[in-house]
Copies of this chain bind each other. A is one copy, B any other.
Amino acid sequence: MANPNDPSLHSWIDIAPNSDFPIQNLPFGVFETEERGTRVGVAIGEYVLDLYAVSQFGLFRGLDLPSEPRVFRRRSLNGFIKLGRPVWRAVRQRISQLLRHDNPELRDNEEAMRSCLVRQRDVRMLRPVKPNNYTDFYSSIEHATNVGTMFRDPANALLPNWKWIPIGYHGRTSSIVVSGTDIRRPLGQRKAPDAQVPTFGPSQQLDFELEVSMVVGQGTALGETVPLEQAEDHIFGLLLFNDWSARDLQSWEYVPLGPFLGKNFGSSLSPWVVTLDALEPFRVTGPEQDPEPLPYLHQVGARNFDIQLEVSLQPQGGEENVICRSNFKYMYWSMAQQLTHHASNGCPLEVGDLYASGTISGQSPDSYGSMLELSWRGTKPLTLSDGSQRKFIQDGDTVIMRGFCERNGLRIGFGEVRGTVLPAVE
């Protein structure tokens, strides 16, 4: 059977050359229409392939799927993911085959084609997974160094544990929303360094964080650990992640137990989960790790993925301004190292868990993945195309993150995650 990543594959569906969703991608998501209800789908060009409809037409026959695959009618991918890695792979392989230019099964069946394909503009995308647990890592050395320089000590910006541990903390799942959901500016406590007492009110330092999150595809039992060489078997795929942050709340609350209300008012997900399989052609070596990690975290070979990332800021009624261009390949700690470390004490992983990378910053100032860094804590405001300035995010601003891999004419995209900031309600 053909390799679904083969760059020479093409589909009978007309796909624009710059599309995020060629036949080599086939990311999974959950969508809704009035007519169909909730369905699991796969993005292809400007369309969504409705997997429940595909199964109803018998086009998944021969795969190891339940005969009435209710997993394709649920409000999250969790049920589908729980069927296991061999099933995800077989489904993606079969979809690749169905969509190939030379396969008539769906192409020449007018009725099936109408049922199985729906335009993306006609569907509402839902949050793709129901995460039981969400962890946010802190694995970009440039981001950790920038934050340490601003908040602590430029001479000792990186804390002593940082190069030994993929530092992370637990976040909150109840406020994780899909792209397009408005984000309300949070109220909270903040205290200026020279103030005697704190005040309570709308955050004055609302920020985004450019991140990529893995979606856990295989869980573990209490007490079970995951050797590094098996870590990637536990990953279903990746999506874009905006970890909205209120810097003033965060800096007042976070010592000694870490970020809390400065983070948990909202995090936004892109709706399509790009499988790790589809990203395989874009593996790259990561930054050198010095000192060498302890044996349980020692990884050889190409451990990172070359995913180009960008952030746009769009003022209300205005045009988009690209304010950051970064890349997932900058990560110091790999996803495999993060996951193996996470499981190293026997803490169970669960299907649908989200483990986000932490803010992805590069070395150049235009690659910093947060306003905190881009405006250097408000000291270097950004000027937008309409002449207005930004230290942090204003009410009405829309933040849009995009990501894609590109090599030899093949583009595997993530689509986008966007969110508009609404004024606080006092």
CB within 8 Å of B: which residues of A? 132-133, 138, 152, 159-161, 164-165, 167-175, 177, 181, 184, 186-189, 191, 197-200, 222-223, 225, 246, 249, 252-261, 264-266, 291, 294-296, 341-342, 344-350, 353, 425
Point out the residue from B164, B174, B257 that lies within 8 Å of A347, measured CB to CB: B174
Q: Known contacts A132-B173, A344-B261; is A164 also within 8 Å of B223 by CB?
A: no
A160 contact set on B, CB distance < 8 A? 191
Is the Cβ of B186 less than 8 Å from the Cβ of A264? Answer: no
A256 contact set on B, CB distance < 8 A? 152, 159, 167, 254-255, 258
**A169, A346, A350 — most chain B CB neighbours (10 Å):** A346
A348 contact set on B, CB distance < 8 A? 174-175
Is the Cβ of A264 less than 8 Å from the Cβ of B198? Answer: no
Oligomer copy total? 2
**A161, A168, A246 — most chain B CB neighbours (10 Å):** A161
Is the Cβ of A249 less than 8 Å from the Cβ of B345? Answer: yes
Is the Cβ of B173 less than 8 Å from the Cβ of A171? Answer: no
Complex: A186 Cα to B132 Cα, angstroms: 22
A133 contact set on B, CB distance < 8 A? 172-174
Is the Cβ of A260 less than 8 Å from the Cβ of B169? Answer: yes
Closest to A345 in B: B186
Complex: A245 Cα to B341 Cα, angstroms: 17
Is the Cβ of A169 less than 8 Å from the Cβ of B172? Answer: no
Is the Cβ of A259 less than 8 Å from the Cβ of B261? Answer: no
Is the Cβ of A345 less than 8 Å from the Cβ of B265? Answer: yes
Query: Would you list the 8 A-B pairs with minimal beta carbon distance, nearest first?
Result: A258-B258, A186-B345, A169-B257, A170-B170, A184-B223, A174-B348, A265-B345, A257-B258
